Amino acid sequence: MARLHNGRTGCHPIGLAHSATPLKSSMSSPIPSPEGTPTAKVPHRDLPPYRYVPGLNPHPFRHENGHMFTDGTAPKEESWDPETPWTQDERFLYGADLFDQRYYWEAHEAWEALWHFAAPDTNPHRLLQSLIQYAAAALKHHMGHTQGAERLYQRATERLKVILQSEATPYRGIHIRELITRMENHLQGGPWPTLPMDAP
């Protein structure tokens, strides 16, 4: 079992590095802000001051200039109940806001903090892991790591198709078939992905 960055033990859902200092990379460039402003699902929560891209910005919680820095350790995780109605689940919805605003690293961190509390082989666990991997795929695609992005997309999509076999769509507000299509289009050079999600 691999040791997670937050001190938990288990399998990390994506495998992004957690380097304390930004690496110098010719592939690193800022993620552009969306044109217009997507409607926030959690409007009272502020967005981070920058979109973390490895090799470009200070690591959010390991670097002293990171936007989540406290003492260099990972943020403490609070428990989460998978049975929380999605329309009232502020932490889940904030992850959606981060994704829609192209904070892909931050979105995967927000959802990963919930994923740890979902029972394995359940649809909440599958959904969160797939969202985490889609966020990572978008980030890797931006950085030019196309093969890694495609692998993450394939794994996440296979898991989402399992959900489609047993759940009505939308599931937790997300139109899963449309999400799969948007991610596929993005990795083929199409628009930046957003979640096709009902308003809470």
Q: What is the pLDDT of residues 143-190, one digit of tens each?
A: 999 999 999 999 999 999 999 999 998 999 999 999 999 999 999 999
Gap between the Cα atoms of 5 and 147, Å rounded: 24
Q: What is the pTM of this model?
A: 0.87
Query: One-letter amino acid identity for 28?
Result: S
Instruction: Give me the phi and psi of 180, to 5 degrees please.
Output: -60, -45
Contact between residue 110 and residue 95 where contact means Cβ atoms under 8 Å apart: yes
Span 4-10, average pLDDT: 36
Contact between residue 182 and residue 193 where contact means Cβ atoms under 8 Å apart: yes
Contact between residue 91 and residue 80 where contact means Cβ atoms under 8 Å apart: yes
Q: What is the pLDDT of residues 76-113, one digit of tens each?
A: 889 999 999 999 999 999 999 999 999 999 999 999 99
Contact between residue 2 and residue 10 where contact means Cβ atoms under 8 Å apart: yes
24 pLDDT band (50/70/90 cuts)?
A: very low
| pLDDT at position 11 over 60 | no
**H-helix or E-strand containing 6?**
none
